Structure 1
Amino acid sequence: MSTAASSPRGELARGGALSFAGSAVSAVMGLVLIVILGRLLGDAGSGIVLQAVGIFTIALGVARFGMDSAAIWILPRQLEDQRQLLRPTGAFLLIMSAVVGLVCSAVLFVGILIAEAQSPGDDVAAALRTIVWFLPVASVMLTALSATRALGKVDAYVLVGNVALPTLRPIAIAVAVGLGAGAVAASFAWALPLLPAAVAAVAVMLVQLRRQGRTSEPGFLRSDVPKRTLQYALPRVVSSALEQLLIWLAVIIVGAIAGPAAAGVYGSASRFVAAGMIVDTALRVVVSPMFSRMLHRKDTGELESVYRTATVWLVLFSTPVYILLAVFAPVALSLLGESFADGQSVLIVMSVGSIVTFLAGNIHSVLLMSGRSGLAALNKAVAVAVNVGLIYLLVPLWGITGAAVAWAVACALDAVLASLQVRFVLGLRVSPLAGIYPLIVAIVTIGVPAAAFRLLFGATWLGLIATVVVGAALFLAWCRFDRRRLHLDQLRLPGAR
C-alpha cells in the first residue's frame, strides 16, 4: 500500500479509535440514563422526560442554526489556505449559535405557555418549561465542539461531548430523584450539565484558534465567508431539525396517541438502538473533516478509498451489536423493569433497520461535506414525511411496533436518496457492496452463535454471555486472519504485523 493511500487510513484509524472509545462511554452512559429513568420513574415518568427531551432536541436542530455543521465544512478548508480567517469565522459561528438559540428559546417558551393555558397540569409542558432556556447553551456547546474537531482536536470533542456530558446526566437525575423529585425535576437535571460542558467546549475552541498563530484580517464581514457560511447553514437548519424529528417524533406521537407509558416504552427501546450507534458516531466524527478537505482538494480517489474503508468498519463493528440486541431483546429490556417488556418488537425491528441502513456507510457525511446541504435537507424532508405518514397508518394497527417499522423505512429511504445523489450528482463511486462482506462476517461469527444459544438457553443472561464469549472469539479470529480484506491492517490487531 502506498504512503498516500495509507496516510488517510492511518488518520482514520487513529482518530476513529479515540472517537470510538468516547462513543462507547457515551453509549454506556446513555443506557445507564435509560435504566435510571425506567427504574426510578417507571414507564409513565420516563415517557414524560423523554417527550420533553425529544421536543427540546428537535428545537435544538433549529436553534444551532446549522453552525455546527458549517464549522465542520468550512474550518478544514480554511486550515488549507485561509488561516487568517479562522478566528473571525469561529467567532461568527458562536455568536450566530447563541443569538438564534436565544430566539428559539423565547419562541418555544411562548408556545409552552399557550399549551399550558389550554391544558393545565400537562407534565410534559411543565418539564419542557424547566429546560427551554438551555437551548442557547446547548447550541453554543455543539458548535464549539464541532469546531474543535474541525480544527483537529478530536480528543476535546470526545472528552467533553462523549464522556463528561453523558456521564453527568444520569448522576444528576439520580441525585434529583433520590431527593424526592419527579419527572419535571428530572428533566431539569438532564439539562443542567450542559452549562459546564458549554464552558469547556468554548474554552478549548478559543485556545485552538489562538494556537493557529495568525491574527485575523480586518473586513471579515465584507468578505464572502459570512455569506457562504449562511448559504451552507440555512438548509442545514431544516435538515438538522428534520434529523431530530426522524429520531424523536415517534416518541412524541406515540405519547399523544397511546399515552406517556407507551411513549416511555417506545422511547426507552429506541434508546438502546441509539446507544448501538457508537461506531457510526465515532467514524463520522473523524471522516467528516477529512471528506471536506479531500473534496476541497478534488482528491476524489482518496475520498472513495476512505469511504470504502469506513463503510467496511462501520458494518463490521456495528452489526454484532444489533444482532445481540435483536436476538436477546428481552434480556436488554429486563434492565428497565417488567413494564418495558412490550418494547421487544421495537428493539428487533429497529436493530434490523439499522443494519440495513449501515450498508450505505457514512454517505450523509460525503453529501454534506460536498456543500450540498440543500439536497440533504430535501432528503430529510422526504424521510420525515414518509415516517409521519407511516406512523399514523401503522401505530393504530400494530402499536409501537408500527412506529418502529416507520422509522426503519424512513432511515433506509434517506440513505438510498443520499447514495443516489452522491453517485449521480457528485459523480463519486460509492456502493453498498463494500458492506456486504463484513455483514457476512458478523452474521456468521455472531449471528449463528446467537441463534444457537437463544434456542439452547432461551432469552436469558446465560445465553447472551455464551454468545458474547463464543462469538467474540470467532469474530476476532476471522478479523485477524482476514485483516487485509477487512482493511484492519491499520488498526494493528493483536498478532498483526
Structure 2
Amino acid sequence: MTTTGESRRDLARGGALSFIGSATSAAMGLVLIIVLGRTLGDAGSGVVLQAIGAFTIALGVARFGMDSVAIWLLPRQLEDDRASIRPTGWFLLGTSAVAGIVCSLVLLAGTAVVEAQSPGDPVAEALRAILWYLPVASVLLTALSATRALGKVTAYVLVGNVALPTLRPLAIMVAVGLGAGATGAAVAWALPLAPAVLAAVLVLVLQLRRLGAPRTHGFLRSGVPAKAITYALPRVLSSGLEQLLIWLSVIVVGAITGPAAAGVYGSASRFVAAGMIVDTALRVVVSPMFSRLQHRGASAELEEVYRTATVWLVLFSTPVYLLLAAFAPVALSLLGESFADGEPVLIIMCAGAIITFLAGNIHSILLMSGRSGLAALNKAIAVAVNIGLLYVLVPVWGITGAAVAWAVACALDAGLATLEVRFLLRIRVSPFPGLYPLLVGLLGVGIPAWACRLLLGPTWLGLIVAAVVGAALFLVWCRLDRRRLQLSGLARASHRD
C-alpha cells in the first residue's frame, strides 16, 4: 500500500503534466472564442455557441456514463481483477457508441420540430449539421477516460487537452476564410473529433493488450456489465445535468434576449471555463486515486490527498480569477467592442468559481465512492435552482442575472456534495484547508490588481503591471511559507526518485 508521501508525489507528478495539458486546452479555448468573436461577431458566435451548448448537453447523455465508469471501475480492476480489464474496456466503448447513435437520432428529431416551428432557425441548422458527431465524441471521451484510469495520463493530455483544442480554432479560421457562416464554423468545430477518437482508441487498445490475456468467456455473466450499468445510470442523468449547468444559461439567454446577448454571455463564460485549468488538471489525477484509496479503505490517506489538492487548487486558481475579474474589460476587448457588456458577467462568475473551489475536488470523492445517484440528485437540485433563477433574473438583469444564477447553482452543488461526503461517507472534508491559500491570493494578487486598475485604468498596461507585481508578491509568499502551503516537497515530488 502506498504511503501518504507517495500519493502526494503521484499527485504532484501527474498534476504537473495534466496542468500543462489543461493550460494548453484553456489557451486554445480562449483562441477559439476570440476567433469566433472576430470572424462572426456577437450574433454569429452566439449561434455557434448555442449549437455547441446543445451538442455538449446531449453529449452528457450520449456517453451513457461510460467515461465515469472507466474512472471508477478500471483502477479497482487493476487491484484485483486484471482478467476483466480488456473485455470491460470494449464493453465501455461499445455502450458509449450505441448510446451516441441513439442520441443523434433523438436530437435529429428535435431539430426537425424546431425547424418546423421556426423555418430557417440558424441554431437548429447548425446543430443538425454537427449532431452526427455525437457517437464519435462519446467514444472519444470514454476512451480517454479509460486511458487515464489505466495510468496513461500522457495520452489523455496530448489527445484531449492539446491536439483537439488546438485543431478547432484552426479549422474554424479555415472554414470562415473559405466563406462559411455560422453553420460551417460549427462543423469545423466538430470535425477534429474524428482524428482524435482514432488516436484515443488506438492508445487504449495498446494499453489493454499489455495487461495480459482477457477473460475468454462468461464476461456478460460475470457481473461486471451489470455493475457498470448500475453505476452509469445515475451518471447519465448527472452528466446531462452537469452540462446543463454549464451551457443552459447560454441557450436561455439566447431564447429570451437574442443571439447577440447569448454570444456576449457565452464568450464571457468561456473565459471563466478556461481559467479552471488547475481544477481540471487535479481532477484528472485525483479521481483514479480516490477510487483506489476508497477501495482499499485508506481513509486517512484519502483525506490527506484531498486536503493537499484543495490547498493547491485554491492557491493556484485564485490569482487567475482575481486578475481576470479586475481587468475584465481588457480580456473582453480581445473579442471586439460589442462584447464589453460582458464585464459584470465575468466578475460575478470569477467570484463564484473562487468560492466553489473551497470545496476542492469534492465531486470526485463522491463519485469515486460509487454514490453516482447522490451526485445526480445534487445536479438535479442545482439545475432546478439555476433554471428558476434564470427565468426570474434574466428578464430583469439580463446576462448579469444569468451569471448570478450560475454562481448560486455551482455553490449549492458543491455544498451538497460536501455535506454528503462529510456525514454519509464519514470522510473529514471541509472548506477550511482552502481559506489560507485564498487569503494568500487576495492579499498577494487581488489587492495589487484592483489598485493597478484604479491607478492605471482597465488597460493592458494596468494588467501587465498588476500581473508582474502580483506574481512577485505571490511567489515570495509561497517561498517563505512553503511548508504551510504544502509546497516544500512539490518540486521533488514532481520527479521520479
TM-score, normalised relative to structure 2: 0.98
Q: Is the 8 A contact 1:85 1:217 kept in 2?
A: no
Q: Which amino acid aligns with 2:282?
A: L
Q: Does 1:28 align with 2:41?
A: no
In structure 1, the residue matched to 2:315 is 316
In structure 2, the residue matched to 1:37 is 36
In structure 2, the residue matched to 1:181 is 180
Deviation at 1:217, TM superposition (A): 3.6
In structure 2, the residue matched to 1:150 is 149
Q: Which amino acid aligns with 1:31?
A: L
State how 1:394-413 maps to structure 2 within 5 Å: 394-413=393-412
Q: Is the 8 A contact 2:160 2:196 kept in 1?
A: yes
2-structure distance, mates of 1:79, 1:389: 44
Q: Is the 8 A contact 1:19 1:285 kept in 2?
A: yes
Q: Does 1:191 align with 2:208?
A: no
In structure 1, the residue matched to 2:476 is 477
In structure 2, the residue matched to 1:349 is 348
1-structure distance, mates of 2:320, 2:340: 20
Q: Does 1:87 align with 2:106?
A: no
2-structure distance, mates of 1:207, 1:479: 41
In structure 1, the residue matched to 2:7 is 8
In structure 2, the residue matched to 1:453 is 452
1-structure distance, mates of 2:117, 2:328: 40
2-structure distance, mates of 1:266, 1:122: 20
Q: Which amino acid aligns with 2:175?
A: A
Deviation by residue 1:183-228 (Cα, 9 ceiling, x = unmatched): 0100000000000000100000110011112332410000110011
In structure 1, the residue matched to 2:293 is 294
In structure 2, the residue matched to 1:491 is 490
Q: Is the 8 A contact 1:350 1:408 kept in 2?
A: yes
In structure 1, the residue matched to 2:431 is 432
State how 1:102-181 maps to structure 2 within 5 Å: 102-181=101-180
In structure 1, the residue matched to 2:218 is 219
Deviation at 1:493, TM superposition (A): 8.1
In structure 2, the residue matched to 1:233 is 232
Q: Does 1:71 align with 2:95?
A: no
Q: Which amino acid aligns with 2:459?
A: T
Partner SS for 2:429: coil
In structure 1, the residue matched to 2:251 is 252
Distance 1:101 1:225, change over 3 A: same
2-structure distance, mates of 1:226, 1:65: 13
Percent sequence identity over matched residues?
75
2-structure distance, mates of 1:477, 1:164: 35
Partner SS for 2:428: coil
Q: Which amino acid aligns with 1:84?
A: A
Q: Which amino acid aligns with 1:435?
A: G
1-structure distance, mates of 2:210, 2:466: 49
Partner SS for 1:431: coil
In structure 2, the residue matched to 1:200 is 199
Unaligned runs of 5+ in 1: none
Structure 1 consecutive aligned stretches of length 4 or more whose deviation exceeds 4 Å: none
Partner SS for 2:215: coil
Q: Is the 8 A contact 1:9 1:490 kept in 2?
A: no
1-structure distance, mates of 2:492, 2:324: 25
Deviation at 1:4, TM superposition (A): 1.6
Q: Which amino acid aligns with 1:227?
A: A
Q: Is the 8 A contact 2:65 2:233 kept in 1?
A: yes
Partner SS for 1:214: coil
Distance 1:452 1:234, change over 3 A: same
Deviation by residue 1:375-402 (Cα, 9 ceiling, x = unmatched): 0000000000000000000011111000
Q: Is the 8 A contact 2:87 2:214 kept in 1?
A: no
Q: Which amino acid aligns with 2:256?
A: I
Q: Is the 8 A contact 2:318 2:441 kept in 1?
A: yes
2-structure distance, mates of 1:277, 1:337: 23
TM-score, normalised relative to structure 1: 0.98
1-structure distance, mates of 2:392, 2:213: 57
2-structure distance, mates of 1:214, 1:9: 32
Q: Which amino acid aligns with 1:434?
A: P
Q: Which amino acid aligns with 1:20?
A: F
Q: Which amino acid aligns with 1:167?
A: T
Deviation at 1:366, TM superposition (A): 0.2
In structure 2, the residue matched to 1:330 is 329
1-structure distance, mates of 2:266, 2:4: 42
Deviation at 1:3, TM superposition (A): 7.7
Distance 1:493 1:42, change over 3 A: farther
2-structure distance, mates of 1:6, 1:485: 16
Q: Which amino acid aligns with 2:47?
A: I
Q: Is the 8 A contact 1:13 1:490 kept in 2?
A: no
1-structure distance, mates of 2:215, 2:452: 62
Deviation by residue 1:10-67 (Cα, 9 ceiling, x = unmatched): 0000000000000000000000000000000000000000000000000000000000
1-structure distance, mates of 2:31, 2:239: 26
**Count of aligned pairs:** 494
In structure 1, the residue matched to 2:54 is 55
1-structure distance, mates of 2:430, 2:131: 42
Q: Which amino acid aligns with 1:135?
A: L
Distance 1:493 1:40, change over 3 A: farther
Q: Is the 8 A contact 1:160 1:201 kept in 2?
A: yes
2-structure distance, mates of 1:230, 1:282: 27
1-structure distance, mates of 2:224, 2:301: 27
Unaligned runs of 5+ in 2: none
1-structure distance, mates of 2:65, 2:214: 26
2-structure distance, mates of 1:23, 1:93: 25
1-structure distance, mates of 2:16, 2:486: 14
1-structure distance, mates of 2:110, 2:351: 37
Partner SS for 1:216: coil
